Amino acid sequence: MRPSQLLRGLCLAAGLLLAPLAARAEDGYDLWLRYRPVEAGAATDYRASAGTVAPVADTPTLKVARAELERGLAGLLGERRDGGGEILLGTPASSPRIAALNLPLKAAGAEGYRIRTLNEGGRRVTVIAASTDVGVLHGVYRYLSLIQTRQAVDGLDLVDAPKVRYRLLNHWDNLDRSVERGYAGQSIWDWWRLPDVTDPRYVDYARANASIGINGAVLNNVNAKSDSLTAPYIAKAAALADVFRPYGIKVYLSARFSSPIEIGGLKTADPLDSAVRAFWKAKADEIYKAVPDFGGFLVKANSEGQPGPQDYGRTHADGANMLADAVGPHGGIVMWRAFVYSHEQPDDRAKQGYSEFKPFDGKFAQNVIVQVKNGAIDFQPREPFHPLFGAMPKTNLGMEFQITKEYLGFSTHLAYLGPMWEEVLQADTFAPGMGAAGKGSTVAKVVDGKLHGYSRTLMAGVANIGTDRNWSGSQFDQANWYAFGRLAWDPEASSEAVARDWAAMTFSPDKRFTGPAVAMMMGSREAVVDYMTPMGLHHLMGRSHHYGPGPWVAGGERADWTSVYYHKADKAGIGFDRTARGSDAVAQYAPPVAAAFSDLARIDEKDLLWFHHLPWGYRTRSGRPLWDELVGRYSRGVRSVEGMQATWTGLAPYVDAERHAQVTTYLAVQRREARWWRDASVAYFQSINGLPLPKGEAPPPLSLEAYERMQFPYTPGI
């Protein structure tokens, strides 16, 4: 035995001895793809099934599929798995053995897979088959996740396919590596060193995304620079595309609408001008030369100061269709954002997206997808679903969620966003189509195309990824990246089931861990709603940096960037009247939805002050006056965080010390900031209504002025 072999043997032996006793220190870099050893008892069974991996055809994707499977199995079950089983992976086109099996693969679609256990002459063969190589890769990750979550892998016959075609991360990453609303370090795209240097981290990024079915990434911020579309930056994007390609991930770019002027030497960016159209055609051709499978453009136009077609008296449809013409011949798409509102417009900001887009239903090209945020304001801890969903049957509409927690405590608050997204996806638009009177026409069915038969479907998530070792800024923020991918693949998925998988893979499959951890995650977003913006309140954060409470924010350049615009609190009451008596935003919803939101007897109190302006003494369903109920909910939010702290302390035996300590520290920050939100909000609203605190409620420790005076220079993410 050579010394190096001896050393390896010793290390292995030591590792095997120690592994079950103490979890190794971990920093979170491995995400949910940790592949740590399965407990001795269970491992034997798995080894019998997951034996050798048959060779695959020589394609880039099948090679990474096989490598990932080998890597996963080696980590989970060890190098020696000689129980006799075999895993066979591939497509009918690339593997005669798989072709001979004649498996029904239609239901697996273009990116899904079928996994089936066969008995070949007493030998167990697990087949991971798909019509395409990337389907096989997705199947490999699914198979590994079964072992990671300790489910059975014998007797398998499962088929799965994504319900949404475009499942994209949107990076709000700038060319100087800062990240707008990023709380996890710098951009992982090292633009300066690209294209020559490709950080190995890009591969791990692609692995993580492929494992949850994400199939595209918009590399640069929607507040875009035209430079992204110049030759040097196209070459950089092409280098990333080359890294991602084997993983089934395409590259997209945000396009600045005025690029024809800035980098094309034209005097206008008018979408009906022939020179402008020629610029975009040539630009698309240039990009496709470098990136043959380029996905397309994402555009923020005529929104928050960005240029757009309205600058030339043209419409959103004119702008989107011009770009669609440019990328269409190459198979590309245009994602045109519906996040538009203007301060010259006196109408309720919540109404403006609908007002601007609804009239153009049917006017957008087939390769345009209008990308709509989940709610009508801006990624608040809770928003009713955006009224455009269900209202644009003839226009492809896609969903935009925000994974990065701009409004939910940055990366230091533990808030699992799965329930928030599920709440929106399961909301019923009552658009005609599904059941009687539109019942069952959920947002999920709009987004996955079932309701209106969209030709292209999209789910986009604003990424929370940065250079931090743990990628997302905190251990638990990884769950939001993971959950986004899972819900984009299947908008009907249960956020709780997704959390359970994530917790098992990321920390421990032990039920004594996953039970309490998942319960904590499931309640975490509601806790944030409680301590920040209970009962339908919204947009009450600090000005511009959006850190911490700022219900007093008033004045400045535009009313719809203040808090007082949204809460409308005065001596008599609080809330934004969006009923027919007020801004009538409710009228943008289907009649049954509008009726329920308008009716104080039927509206869910979680949305109360989003739609109604009510007296402080209004009797809530608990029997308490509104003011008492509000204060009660603020305090309940703080208590929930204390509950999370206690839960987490109890989970120490199942988590490595390093990650456990980090989460503990972050929860302490969250507890302190939850209390701050509660106190500052209570102090402010009390200064408006002059009411005493309900019995048993602690007064805020500082004066309102002290909260108002707090300054936060250098806040990340601006």
- Which positions are catalytic? 304, 378, 406
CA 214/CA 177 separation, integer angstroms: 23
- Residue 365 corresponds to which tokens in the numbers above? 């090209």
* Subset of 456-475 contacting ligand GCW (CB under 6 A): none
| 328/353 with CB nearer ligand GCW | 353
Cβ count near 183 (within 10 Å): 23
Handedness of CA 119, 123, 128, 133 (dihedral sign): negative
Alpha-carbon radius of gyration of the chain: 26
Output helix, strand, coil percentages for the chain, rounded to the nearest 5: 45, 10, 45
Q: What type of residue is 477? A: D
- Residue 216 CA, chain-centre distance (Å), reads 13
Q: Of 339 and 430, which CB lies nearer to ligand GCW in the complex structure?
A: 339
CB nearer to ligand GCW: pick between 297 and 379: 379
Using the minimum distance from each CB to ligand GCW, give the nearer residue, 304 or 708.
Answer: 304
Binder of ligand GCW out of 35, 297, 339, 385 (CB under 6 A): 339
3-class SS of residue 454: coil
Return the SS3 of 460: strand
Smallest distance, ligand GCW to C-beta of residue 303, A: 6
Closest by CA to 183, choosing from 27, 411, 401, 28, is: 411
223 touching ligand GCW, by CB under 6 A: yes
In the complex, least distance from residue 285 CB atom to ligand GCW, rounded to whole angstroms: 28
Q: What tokens appear for 398 in the block?
A: 């896609």
- Least CB distance from residue 337 to ligand GCW, whole Å? 7
- Nearest of 647, 624, 642 to residue 695 by alpha carbon: 624
Q: How many CA atoms lie within 13 A of 306 on its CB side?
A: 26
Q: Which is nearer to ligand GCW, 566 or 654 (CB)?
A: 566
Q: Measured from the CB atom, is 459 or 663 closer to ligand GCW?
A: 459
537 HSE (CA, 13 A, CB side) = 29
Which residue's CB comes closest to ligand GCW? Answer: 378
CB of 271 to ligand GCW, least distance (A): 20
Q: Is 124 in the site for ligand GCW (CB under 6 A)?
A: no
CB-based contact 82:122 (threshold 8 Å): no
CA distance 607 to 598: 11
Taking the complex as a whole, how short is the minimal distance between the CB of residue 703 and ligand GCW, in angstroms? 29
Among 166, 341, 379, 489, binds ligand GCW (CB under 6 A): 379
Size of the site for ligand GCW (CB under 6 A): 11
Near ligand GCW by CB under 6 A: residue from 108, 222, 324, 596: 222
How many whole angstroms separate alpha carbon 395 and alpha carbon 97? 43
CB of 88 to ligand GCW, least distance (A): 45
Rule CB under 6 A: is residue 181 a binding residue for ligand GCW?
yes
658 binds ligand GCW (CB under 6 A): no
Phi then psi dihedrals of residue 81, to 5 deg: -130, 75
User: Shortest Cβ distance from residue 17 to ligand GCW (Å)?
Assistant: 51
Is 180 an interacting residue with respect to ligand GCW (CB under 6 A)?
yes
Tell me which residue of 75, 63, 88, 65 sits closest to 34, measured CA to CA.
75
Residue 328 neighbours by CB distance under 10 Å: 18
Classify residue 546 as left (phi > 0), alpha (psi -120 to 50) or beta: left
Residues 614-653 contacting ligand GCW, CB under 6 A: none
Between 179 and 287, name the residue whose CB sits nearer to ligand GCW: 179
Closest distance to ligand GCW from the beta carbon of 254 (Å): 9
Residue 610 main-chain phi, psi, to 5 deg: -70, -35
Binding positions for ligand GCW, 280-319, rule CB under 6 A: 300, 304
Q: Please give the biggest Cα pair distance in the chain.
A: 86
Cα angle 14-11-203, degrees, rounded to a multiple of 5: 120
Distance CA 156, CA 87 (A): 12
The yes or no reply on residue 225 touching ligand GCW (CB under 6 A) is no
Helix/strand/coil for 635:
helix
Tell me the C-alpha distance between 130 and 56, whole Å. 13
92 contact partners, CB below 8 Å, separation of at least 6: 98, 99, 103, 105, 129, 131
Q: Of 339 and 410, which CB lies nearer to ligand GCW in the complex structure?
A: 339
Site for ligand GCW in 394-413 (CB under 6 A): 406
- DSSP class of residue 478 equals H
Give the residue with the Cβ less far from ligand GCW, 86 or 378: 378
Which among 389, 383, 401 has a CA at the least distance from the CA of 451?
A: 389
Half-sphere exposure at residue 493, Cβ-oriented, CA atoms within 13 angstroms: 25
Report whether 394 contacts 449 (CB < 8 A): no
Peptide bond into 195 cis (omega under 30): yes
Least CB distance from residue 180 to ligand GCW, whole Å?
5
486 counts as binding ligand GCW under rule CB under 6 A: no
CB of 375 to ligand GCW, least distance (A): 11
Nearest approach, Cβ of 304 to ligand GCW (angstroms)? 6
Site for ligand GCW in 138-177 (CB under 6 A): 172
Based on the shown chain and the rule CB under 6 A, indicate whether residue 378 belongs to the binding site for ligand GCW.
yes
Block residue for tokens 């919540």: 350
Encoded tokens for 301: 């136009």
Q: How far is the CB of 352 from ligand GCW (least distance, A)?
A: 14
Task: Considering only residues 668 through 687, tell me which ones interact with ligand GCW, judged by CB under 6 A.
Answer: none
**Amino acid letter, residue 521:** M
Instruction: Rank residues 339 and 471 by Cβ distance to ligand GCW and give the closer one.
Output: 339
- The binding site for ligand GCW (CB under 6 A) comprises 172, 180-181, 222-223, 300, 304, 339, 378-379, 406
